[in-house]
Amino acid sequence: MRIVSLLPSATDIVVALGAADNLVGVSHSCSGEWDHLPKLTSTWIDTKASAAQIDRQVSTATRPLYELDIATLERLAPDVVVSQSLCDVCAVPAGDVQEAVLSLPSSPRLVDLSPYTLADVPLCFDQVGNAIGRERAAADLRRKWDATLAEYRGRHAGSDLRVVFLDWLDPPFVAGHWVPDMIEALGMTCLLGKSGEPSFKVEWDRVAQAAPDIVIVACCGMDEDRAKADAVPLDCPVLFLDGHMHFSRPSPALLPSMAMLSDAVAEFVELV
């Protein structure tokens, strides 16, 4: 079984299912431990630029943000290619991947992941598990997922905290998809963000008018130190978390993300 993963969350799932050794290619966004494998994607976006500059590059782009190395993909002759149709800003668009896969002589199976909510994430375990012959491992992973989330459910129900969660700061974007589900599962109230809907740009005045008790920031592709480079012009507590390894990866990585979120909120509650 030869597997190509075109995004970090897919790589997370393949590894969690015990098939790390079957990976023959990954995306350029996958972490350093995969540097020994061919990178099938690339981007012209300057990811080291400021948040404002990155947003400007994306919003004014006149060509695709990502490129798929079809020649290398063909050479690798994968049996399975795991991609996504959730966000064209995060990875190669699904249509481009489908067109490329259909052109390959090896006729690989394409697994298209689209987890919009927290409940959708374990469905991806089954999708990948079925494609790579790891059905039992997928079932075990789902049980671990359910048990871990059950441990955190309602943990902060008595806090009455009203939370705005931002996944970009310049300009500010309110996090959507599975993030509101995580906040609500912990027993807090998620302001502005909607479960299953994409992140969206917002004015700082609207964030202030929502009157959050706390603003949580986990910028997509950035750790907490880099995110702190951008100002948050609000008169309320702001908590910075790692958005690169956590929160933006709909995979088993959301389990430690839930723990991180819960622990950070617990520390905040103790301080106030």
Look at residue 91 in the predicted model and tell me its pLDDT.
Answer: 60
Task: Copy the structure tokens of residue 245.
Answer: 């390894």
pLDDT tens figures, 128-184:
999 999 999 999 999 999 999 999 999 999 888 999 999 999 999 999 999 999 999
Query: What is d(CA 92, CA 85) in angstroms, rounded to the nearest whole number?
Result: 9
Element housing 84 (H / E): strand 80-84
Partners of 118 in the beta sheet? none
User: How many CB atoms within 10 Å of residue 12?
Assistant: 21
Query: Counting every residue, how long is the chain?
Result: 272
Using DSSP's 3-state secondary structure scheme, residue 42 falls into strand
pLDDT tens figures, 56-78:
988 888 887 888 899 999 999 99
pLDDT band for position 239 (50/70/90)?
Answer: very high
pLDDT tens figures, 190-205:
999 999 999 999 999 9
In 3-state terms, the chain is what percent helix, strand and coil (to 5)? 40, 20, 45
Look at residue 103 in the predicted model and tell me its pLDDT.
Answer: 81
Look at residue 26 in the predicted model and tell me its pLDDT.
Answer: 95
Query: What is d(CA 161, CA 144) in angstroms, rounded to the nearest whole number?
Result: 28
Task: Copy the structure tokens of residue 113.
Answer: 């992941």
Taking the chain, what is the end-to-end CA distance rounded to the nearest angstrom? 53
Mean pLDDT of 78-91: 78
Decide if 41 contacts 93 (C-beta within 8 A): no
Query: What is d(CA 131, CA 109) in angstroms, rounded to the nearest whole number?
Result: 7
Decide if 3 contacts 106 (C-beta within 8 A): no
pTM for the full predicted model? 0.91
Residue 94 has pLDDT above 80, yes or no: no
Look at residue 272 in the predicted model and tell me its pLDDT.
Answer: 57
For the chain, give the mean pLDDT: 90
pLDDT band for position 89 (50/70/90)?
Answer: low
The percent of residues in the chain predicted with pLDDT above 90, rounded, is: 65
Nearest to 167 by CA among 221, 117, 113: 221
